[in-house]
A and B are shown apart, each in its own frame.
Chain A
Amino acid sequence: MPKVVKLMQGSEACTAGALAAGLRFYAGYPITPSTEVAELCAEELPKIGGKFIQMEDEIGSIAACIGASLTGKKVMTATSGPGFSLMQECLGYASLCEIPLVIVNAQRMGPSTGMPTSPAQGDVMQARWGTHGDHPIIALAPGNVRECFDLTLRAFDLSEKYRIPAIVLTDEVISHMREGVELPDPAEVRPLRRAAPSSPAGYKPYAADPDGGVPLMAPFGEGYRWHCTGLFHDESGAPSGKADVADKLLRRLQLKMDKNAPDMWDNVQEGTEDCDIAVVSFGSSAMSALSAVRRARREGVKAGMLRLKTIWPFPEPAIRELASRAKAIVVPEMNLGQLALEVERVAGCRSRVIRVGKVNGELFRPDEIYDVIMGAK
């Protein structure tokens, strides 16, 4: 097969990744900078018998997605800060009720209306803690247009496999920029599907190994007649306020993420095997950071780059290992320090963590990060 290189926008690659994963239902609401995902889904889904609906707001969008996911469909929505904030309650619902769901959050300068057309990375903590209560969540961060395809497809696979909502955390630049991209041959893409029960007989919707097990998920409309509730529930799905039931449920949900985190972690490293000074970053900030690291290396400084493709669950082993070598870890991000909080928590006592925050709505220039690396020698 001849190499097929296509000039593709980040949002387009997200949509292509979702379609490759078997997306059949999109519900969304227009918001800069993720509207292109909605537009492309509106155009592509009908061609394959998929359903698209523009709901009255982002709450309706994620709610409709959860409804469709319960019928067995693979679902997605795309939004940005303000919409992501509106989606939080239902995101918690999807996490408690273990509903496979993918949300693309194209971050923009916030808070509030902020700067809609400017990139930012200020939703990192919201992606993890935006909704109330302890809950598992997965967040992946594409660093270029090809990864928008890969990580959206990966988000579907992880969400289907573990029944945990998965967020694809891009930003205005990653979502809007175009790159020449070679997509994998569709025949090689083997999307995962949620494990379903074989028959309604004796089906218990939330029966699973307490040690992080994933229950079998029956689709609505196929004779299982099961009950899904946002109240804490026992294995039969009935609402329950019993202490032991609640404790067992929440710990199982958390273990689903903690135990399977190795399968969820993913990062790219360059020069970290012998670095004195490491840079930890993600998304579009990592592009500038990489050229800064490479420049420092050319000038004989032992600099290394660790780019996180998985933000949540936070890759503690990778950071801990990095801290065992590097005496300083530079964390450039387009916010006033969010990923850095996690890096400090994990590596703070072993390496000096240097936050580099850019909050003027512009990308980092490589020299801005280069200066910090040189300053940290």
Chain B
Amino acid sequence: MSAPLPPTLLDFFRAARGAGLRVSTAEGLDAVRAAEVVGFDDRATLRDALSLVLAKTPEEKRQFEECFALFFGRDGFREAAAAPADAPAPTPPGRAEGAGGIGGDGMGGGAAPSPLGRMLLEGDRAGLAAAMEEAAEAVGLSSISVFTQVNMYARRIMERMGLKALEDEIAALRRDPAGAERAARLDLARDYLRGEVRELVQRNLLLFARGETERWREEMLRQARLAGLDRRDAERMRVLVRAMARRLATRYARVRRRDRRGHLDARRTLRRNMAWGGVPFRTVWKQRKVEKPRLFVLCDVSGSVAAVAQFLLLFIYSLHEALSGVRAFAFTSGTIEVSEILEREPIEQAIAQIMGRIGFGSSNYGTSLEDFEKGWMQAVDRRTTVIVLGDGRGNRTEPRVDILQRLAGRAKQVIWLNPEHPASWGTGDSDMPRYAPHCRVVAQCATLRQLERVISDMLRNHAG
């Protein structure tokens, strides 16, 4: 139990952070204590124990298991690394004759056999693996951060293990006709070793550099245009949107309970304390009610706006803790309510269904607004925030600005989000400048970061 830990736990924490776990210092200390208590002998128990301390959600548990397997799998790798050595045809005979051959070569060739060459030909797996790990540590392999460094680290490790001496030996053997066969065997073994070292480096890259790469990717995604997203990135983006929404939701759910103390509510205090003869044991304070925003979301789902609509809806529906009620509407040339679909189905399928029902037509803002006024204008009240998402391009149809004006009059505020750059508002068939005066906020919303900012502002205005 008191034996030194083969790979240190500290390295493991770094790898775990790289895999996306948040390992605080306190948790790290706990993990060390837990590991000391259960010991390092039984891997499954160690995994259970560390998982209890380090991973705090089912998602984190999964990441943890993956990282643990990768990290502590290194011992298994030693055997695996040596095992294929038997597979290439020339090596087994090499090993068999190696012991006898060395003496003969030593006498005949005169080239001093390098330690690395001897280990390779003798098939000394443990020695090779130890030398490799040692060299890896010496060159600081665990600080590898991008994949372009793989070749450099592999070369450095090989050099550290004595590649130079090995090359010299091979060169010397080549010159000697008696050593040709041995030179060929060493050549093969060297190539094999190179492969193994590369594998080790790749594995470390996976372990330690993933965090960096992930963070970098996320940063890029936040700024990427929502409309032109890769299908592959879309899933990652959804995860990101949910995380953002959760952060906002917890922040604003708290603000809402802020104003608890203030003036004494004399009437209710007296009433509450009737049981004690009116002696005020329990005080009741006047509470200012901070209301959660009610939200109506109108999304243009035609053409390029649709991609952004998907993320806006996902964002809004991940926020439900901070909102008191959300109704969503989709329109192209007419408006339908889609709240029910969104509540029933997971977001991806819901979006697909909505698109199936009205998507991909050419948009007509006038008729869509008329539909909305007929069907749902009554439901808009002073507590309602209306978010309109659209490029304001009605294909030269009547924009019906008057309806938006009436809407703005009824609602607490109207926020218009436009995925286009402000410079192109008003060009061509864009009616944006005519809608804009009736909206409290008009903002561009082409990237996730812009989306987050707008929604965060909205929640703050409500809370303040």
* Chain A partners chain B: no
Which residues of chain B have a CB within 8 Å of any CB of chain A?
Answer: none
Which residues of chain A have a CB within 8 Å of any CB of chain B?
Answer: none
